[in-house]
Amino acid sequence: MSLAQGRHYLAIPGPSVVPDRVLNAMHQPAPNIYEGALIDMVAGLIPDLKAVGRTKHSAAIYIANGHGTWEAAISNTLAAGDKVLVVASSHFALGWAGLAEKLGIKVDVIDFGKQPNFDLGCIEAALRADVNHEIKAVLTTHVDTSTSYKTDIAALRGVIDAADHPALFMVDCIASLGCDRFEMDEWGVDLMITACQKGLMTPPGMGFVFFNEKAATARKKLDRVSPYWDWSDRIEPEIFSNYFFGTAPTHHLLGLREALNMINEEGLEQVWDRHKRLSVAVHAAVDAWGQGEGAMRLNIADPAERSSAVTSVRIGAPDGTRLRKWVTDNAGVTLGIGLGMAASNDPAWHGFFRIGHMGHVNAQMVLGVLGSIDTALKALDIPHGPNAMAKATQSLSLGAFTSG
C-alpha cells in the first residue's frame, strides 16, 4: 500500500512548484502580439524584474533556459581569445566555464570543490598576478545548486576592488534569485543572469540577463555579436517583437506577470525571510538525523554559506537513492538527485540527495517533506539521530529572525 496519492510535491531545486495562480494566468487563448494588453504588460514587466534583481540598470529577456543566459552573457561582453577567471563552487560555474571555452574564451578556473569554502586571498592573488589585465571578467555562481554553497558576492567584489582589477563581475543567480538575498547594484555586480523556473515560479523557458553600463560598454566594443544573443535591440525595442527577436513567449509572459504579482504582494524582503526560515528548519532536521549513528550530513558546514533555496545532503551510498525512491513511491514527494557529487556510474553516486525549497513553498510543504524523510528513514531502517521533526518545528516557531 502506498500513501502517495494526492497532490505530488516536486521538491527538487528547479523546476520549482508552479503556483495555481501562475497556471491559471497562463490558461488563456492566444493573445495578440501586435497590439493590446500583452504589449503594455511586457513594458511593465521589466521594472518589476529589475526590482527582484535589485538593479536600476538594464534587463534583457530571452526565450531560453539558464544555459542560454550563460551564452548570452558571454556573447555580449567577450570575444574569442579573451580571458576570464571562473571562481567555482563545483558543478554550475564549471558548466559556465566549459561553455565559455567552446566559444573560444580562455578560461582560468579556481575550483573550491564539492564542499567549497572560498579562499578570498587566493582569488585576490590571481587577480593581482594579472598585471596586464588580460582577465576581462570574473564569473561565479551566487548559489551553486549542486553543492548548495552560497558565495559571499559582496566579499568577492571587495577582492576584485582590493586588487584594483577592472574585470567585469558576472554572477549566475539562476538558483538563488527570489530566494536568497541578492543586491546587484549594492554589491557591485556588473552582469547577472537568472531563469524563470526556480525562485520566479514559472515553467522553464525564459531567461534574463541584467547588466550595467560597464557591461554595456563592453558590448559596444565588440566587432560582432551573435544576432540572437545580442541584447541591444532587446532592451530598446523599436517594435514589440524586438524584445524577443521574434514571436513573444506569450504564455510564459502571462505566467511570469502573475509570479511577479505574487512576489510584489508578499514583498521581496518577506520572500527572502520565508525562504531563510524554511531552510533553517531543513538544516535543523538534517543536523538532528546526523546525530549518533546517523550518517546524514549537510554538505555545507557553515550556516552563513548555506543557501535558502536548496540543501545538498550527504548520507552515504546506497541510502540516498533508497530514500529518494521511498518518498516518491510512498509519500508523494520527489527529492533532488545528488547532482555532480559523484560520477553517475560510480556507486558513491547513490549517497547524496538534495531538497529544493525554492519559490512557492510554505511551512506545511517543508514539514511534509521532512516528515516524509523521517518516515522513510524508519521504514528503511537507516540509522539516524532522534528528534529531527521537533528541531524543525522548534526552529519554525522561533519568531525572532532576520534574513542574511
Ligand X SMILES: *Cc1c(COP(=O)(O)O)cnc(C)c1O
Report how far residue 351's alpha carbon sits from residue 24's, in angstroms, rounded to the nearest whole number: 39
Which cell numbers hold the place of 387? 528528534
Asked if 83 touches ligand X (CB under 6 A), the answer is no
Nearest distance in Å: CB 97, ligand X: 12
Options 77, 90, 140, 145; binder of ligand X; rule CB under 6 A: 145
Q: Which is nearer to ligand X, 151 or 372 (CB)?
A: 151
Between the CA of residue 298 and those of 78, 301, 320, 354, 373, what are the distances in Å?
Answer: 37, 6, 13, 10, 14
Options 16, 58, 65, 90; binder of ligand X; rule CB under 6 A: 65
**Dihedral sign, CA of 219, 171, 113, 178?**
negative
**Interface region with ligand X, contact rule CB under 6 A, candidates 98-106, 120-128, 167-175, 361-369:** 167-175
Say how many C-beta atoms besides its own lie within 10 A of residue 228's C-beta.
14
Which residue number has the CB closest to ligand X?
Answer: 66
Asked if 200 touches ligand X (CB under 6 A), the answer is no
Residue type, 229: W
Strand, coil or helix: what is 381? coil
Asked if 174 touches ligand X (CB under 6 A), the answer is yes
Say how many C-beta atoms besides its own lie within 10 A of residue 377's C-beta.
22
Nearest distance in Å: CB 139, ligand X: 11
**Secondary structure element (H or E) that encloses residue 193, with its range:** strand 191-195
Report how far residue 333's alpha carbon sits from residue 13's, in angstroms, rounded to the nearest whole number: 13
Q: Counting Cβ atoms within 10 Å, is residue 45 exposed (0-12), middle (13-18) or buried (19+)?
A: middle
Report how far residue 306's alpha carbon sits from residue 196's, in angstroms, rounded to the nearest whole number: 22
Rg (CA), the chain: 21
Nearest distance in Å: CB 386, ligand X: 33
Q: Which is nearer to ligand X, 294 or 340 (CB)?
A: 340
Report how far residue 32's alpha carbon sits from residue 321's, in angstroms, rounded to the nearest whole number: 47
Q: Which is nearer to ligand X, 25 or 143 (CB)?
A: 143
Nearest distance in Å: CB 351, ligand X: 21
Q: Pairing state of beta strands 333-337 and 9-11? A: parallel
Report how far residue 66's alpha carbon sits from residue 267's, in angstroms, rounded to the nearest whole number: 25
* Binding flags for ligand X, 12-51, as an x/- string (CB under 6 A): --x-------------------------------------
* Binding flags for ligand X, 95-134, as an x/- string (CB under 6 A): ----------------------------------------
Nearest distance in Å: CB 174, ligand X: 4
Options 26, 195, 313, 367; binder of ligand X; rule CB under 6 A: 195
Query: How many residues interact with ligand X (rule CB under 6 A)?
Result: 12
**Interface region with ligand X, contact rule CB under 6 A, candidates 60-68, 74-82, 154-162, 360-368:** 60-68
Options 92, 118, 211, 243; binder of ligand X; rule CB under 6 A: 92
Which cell numbers hold the place of 266? 508578499
Q: Is the peptide bond before 318 cis (omega within 30 degrees of 0)?
A: yes
* Binding flags for ligand X, 221-240, as an x/- string (CB under 6 A): --------------------
Q: Which is nearer to ligand X, 60 or 163 (CB)?
A: 60
Q: Which is nearer to ligand X, 174 or 298 (CB)?
A: 174
Report how far residue 156's alpha carbon sits from residue 116's, in angstroms, rounded to the nearest whole number: 14
Q: Which is nearer to ligand X, 12 or 376 (CB)?
A: 12
Which residues ranging from 349 to 368 are in contact with ligand X (CB under 6 A)? none
Asked if 63 touches ligand X (CB under 6 A), the answer is no
Q: Locate cell 534583481: which residue?
A: 53
Options 11, 38, 61, 66; binder of ligand X; rule CB under 6 A: 66
Q: Which is nearer to ligand X, 67 or 325 (CB)?
A: 67
Asked if 141 touches ligand X (CB under 6 A), the answer is yes
Report how far residue 193's alpha carbon sits from residue 209's, in angstroms, rounded to the nearest whole number: 5
Report how far residue 307's alpha carbon sits from residue 181's, in angstroms, rounded to the nearest whole number: 10
Nearest to residue 311, comparing CAs of 10, 5, 11? Answer: 11
List contacts with ligand X (CB under 6 A).
Answer: 14, 65-67, 92, 141, 145, 172, 174-175, 195, 204
